[in-house]
Amino acid sequence: MEDFEYLQALLGGEELPEVTTAFRDIWVLTDGAPEGLKVVDRARNLAETLGARVQVVLIRGEETADLIAAGADRVHLAAGYPESGADLAGDTEAALNALAPFLEEAAPEFILCADDWLGQELAPRLAQRLGAGLATRCLELTINENDRTLVAVRPVYQGDYYEVVNFAPHWPQMATLITAPLSQPYLDPHREGETEVLKPGLSAASRVRVLGETVLPETPLSLSRAAIVVTGGAALGVAGFEKLADLARRLGGAMAGAREAFELGWVEKDQLVDVTGHKVAPRLYMAFGVAGDVMHTAAIKEAKFVVAVHPDPGAPILAQADLGIVGDPCEVIDQLIAAL
């Protein structure tokens, strides 16, 4: 018997148990953003394992061709709902009121979406309404072959390590996916799929109203709290610091200076990264024209990922960095700003 199982495993012929519940298919929620295609692609892979179909709810627009090409078997259009013409993609509560009763009736086995506003705002509330388990910000999804439950791998402590999440045998099961590391899906123009107009059961007035636009004044991020820190050193030159400030703004990070830059008066004391100034622990640390003596590297040893740019190939910081570029830091900053 064991031999038989071994042989079956070798041949890849292990069959998943049949669905015994009323819950069917993998459903993907998307607002038409490119991330949605990546989720459909992932759903397609899982659907092959499960022998299920991929159904998509498109919340905004009517562009179904790419969704079908990426792997959708059926696309439900929610555009134009409710009749007032309100944009479901702009109003989580309206989207929830429209989709929850529809999905409850459709009884999906699994519901997936990207980790954008759908994943962050809609998914937890939808999960609670449907009584579904949820794993957010997943990197990897597989199916437990014994009972058709999801197994998710997701980062904790900002990616320090990952946790494996098991689902109880209770459906629907929901997950949101981090889409950035996923490759662009292959679009098969000859794939066929159906399109249907979604007819949700009820329309409830939203209790949330947008009053107007605002752009919050930018408060300088304190170095110790910033997730991204960009630092300039002597080799950047005083003119480079303006560009550096621009780069910091674009990245949503904080600008800092190494000791030489501080001594030259290019940055303030509260922007000094050094053992004598601030120690920093950002997720991303970028050093431009910083030579990187011990006083500096000791202050950044808790940084998760270090990028260094220096004209001198022998600069110590290049040996310490995860990624290094030998070259003029000003030029690199210009190119970076252009590429972002």
Binding residues among 79-98 for another protein as defined by CB under 8 A: 92-93
Q: Is 151 in the site for another protein (CB under 8 A)?
A: yes
Interface with another protein (CB under 8 A), residue from 125, 143, 195, 293: 125
264 vs 319 by CB, closer to another protein:
319
Residues 241-280 that bind another protein (CB under 8 A): 251
**Alpha carbons 96 and 111: distance in angstroms, whole number:** 14
- Whose structure tokens read 């590391």? 181
Kindly provide the residue ranges of all beta strands, DSSP E only, lying in 265-304, ordered along the sequence.
284-288
* Size of the residue set binding another protein (CB under 8 A): 78
Scanning 79-87, 101-109, 114-122, 255-263 for contacts with another protein by CB under 8 A, the matching segment is 114-122
Q: Is 157 in the site for another protein (CB under 8 A)?
A: yes
68 vs 318 by CB, closer to another protein:
318
Q: Which of 195, 182, 166, 181 is nearest to 75 (CA)?
A: 195
Interface with another protein (CB under 8 A), residue from 61, 82, 124, 316: 124
Scanning 40-48, 191-199, 289-297, 329-337 for contacts with another protein by CB under 8 A, the matching segment is 329-337
Interface with another protein (CB under 8 A), residue from 16, 101, 116, 305: 305
Kindly provide the residue ranges of all beta strands, DSSP E only, lying in 245-322, ordered along the sequence.
254-257, 284-288, 305-310
**Alpha carbons 93 and 59: distance in angstroms, whole number:** 13
Does residue 167 contact residue 173 with C-beta atoms inside 8 Å? yes
Q: How far is the CB of 165 from another protein (least distance, A)?
A: 5
11 vs 340 by CB, closer to another protein:
340
Q: Is 335 in the site for another protein (CB under 8 A)?
A: yes
Q: How far is the CB of 280 from another protein (least distance, A)?
A: 13
Q: How far is the CB of 100 from another protein (least distance, A)?
A: 9
**Alpha carbons 74 and 58: distance in angstroms, whole number:** 10
145 vs 322 by CB, closer to another protein:
322
Residues 55-84 that bind another protein (CB under 8 A): none
DSSP letter (8 states) at residue 191: -
Q: How far is the CB of 304 from another protein (least distance, A)?
A: 8
What residues contact residue 94 under an 8 Å CB cut-off, 6+ apart? 82, 86, 88, 204, 206
98: its two tokens: 């429209």
Q: What are phi and psi of 26, to 5 degrees?
A: -100, 125
Q: How far is the CB of 7 from another protein (least distance, A)?
A: 28
Does residue 178 contact residue 137 with C-beta atoms inside 8 Å? yes
Which amino acid is present at 174? M
Residues 202-241 that bind another protein (CB under 8 A): 206-216, 219, 221-222, 225, 228
53 vs 249 by CB, closer to another protein:
249
Q: Is 310 in the site for another protein (CB under 8 A)?
A: no
**Alpha carbons 122 and 124: distance in angstroms, whole number:** 6
**Alpha carbons 299 and 302: distance in angstroms, whole number:** 8
Which run of H or of E encompasses 55? strand 54-58
Q: Is 143 in the site for another protein (CB under 8 A)?
A: no
Each residue 159-198 as x (binds another protein by CB under 8 A) or -, in order, gives: xxxxxxxxxx-x-------x-xx-----------------
Q: What is the largest CA-CA distance in the chain?
A: 78
